């Protein structure tokens, strides 16, 4: 039975559609970004009028060696133009960017976190394009010696892993296995499924050299030889 159907959308202007903006932000939250409610004291200090605003903060970060990936994420989120109170800085070879607001991020926090634990259960219905698996894999994916993909989901409770397994099958016809461990659940791809999902996300990843080299090392080597 198909649970996730994606979206049939038609762009009516040159502007980014709402469903695309929402997917960009939620995809980053489900992958490697952090989303946190600020304490009342921090909210007061962050507000211009000195009043608490129930602020929620989104933070993305990458090591300096992945600066191109950081810049790509930064541009993608800024282009959505839905988040405010932007700040970026670097420390100890790590790049950071944060946004704080009382509307979108507070809604997403309510959707994604249960008892302060991240879940996928309420938001997978909003994921509809290769962008989500691309970010998920670039942030949390790794290839083993058999060239099989493994994704650390960052959750070890609830139905998140099983639902994501269903999502990959429904949206991209990609089959996966769920591996349960005490600290986290993982999504495992065999060689065929790995090849298929890497093909799906390749048009996105190839714009980010550091990630392209990580996920397509043989293709990267061929490209380098051609340019020499």
Integer Cα distance of 152 and 20 in angstroms: 24
Helix (H, G, I), strand (E, B) or coil at 10: coil
The range of the structural domain enclosing residue 35 comes to 18-214
Is residue 149 in some structural domain?
yes
Number of domains in the chain: 1
Predicted confidence (pLDDT) per residue in 133-192, tens digit:
999 999 999 999 899 999 999 998 889 999 999 999 999 999 999 999 988 999 999 999
Is residue 48 in some structural domain?
yes
The pLDDT assigned to 10 comes to 54
Partners of 178 in the β-ladder? 187
The pLDDT assigned to 115 comes to 87
Is residue 156 in some structural domain?
yes
Is residue 112 in some structural domain?
yes
Is residue 220 in some structural domain?
no
Quick one: CA torsion of 200, 68, 184, 5, rounded to 10 degrees?
-30
Is residue 228 in some structural domain?
no
CA distances from 11 to 21, 92, 125, 147, 218 (A): 13, 42, 20, 37, 36
Residue 191 belongs to a domain with what CATH number?
3.10.28.10
Is residue 44 in some structural domain?
yes
Is residue 7 in some structural domain?
no
pTM score? 0.87
């Amino acid at each position: 039975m198909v649970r996730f159907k994606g979206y049939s959308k038609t762009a009516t202007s040159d502007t980014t559609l709402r469903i695309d903006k929402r997917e960009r932000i939620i995809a980053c939250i489900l992958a490697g970004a952090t989303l946190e409610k600020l304490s009342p004291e921090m909210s007061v200090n962050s507000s211009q009028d000195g009043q608490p605003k129930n602020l929620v903060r989104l933070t993305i970060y990458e090591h300096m060696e992945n600066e191109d990936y950081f810049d790509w994420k930064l541009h993608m989120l800024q282009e959505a133009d839905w988040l405010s109170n932007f700040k970026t800085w670097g420390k100890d070879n790590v790049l950071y960017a944060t946004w704080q607001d009382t509307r979108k991020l507070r809604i997403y926090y309510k959707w994604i976190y249960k008892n302060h634990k991240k879940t996928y259960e309420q938001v997978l219905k909003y994921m509809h394009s290769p962008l989500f698996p691309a970010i998920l894999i670039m942030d949390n994916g790794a290839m083993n010696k058999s060239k099989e993909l493994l994704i650390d989901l960052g959750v070890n409770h609830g139905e998140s892993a099983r639902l994501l397994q269903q999502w990959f099958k429904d949206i991209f016809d990609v089959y996966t296995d769920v591996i349960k461990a005490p600290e986290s659940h993982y999504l495992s791809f065999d060689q065929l499924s790995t090849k298929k999902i890497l093909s799906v996300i390749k048009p996105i990843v190839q714009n980010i050299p550091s990630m392209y080299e990580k996920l397509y090392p043989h293709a990267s080597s061929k490209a380098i030889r051609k340019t020499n």
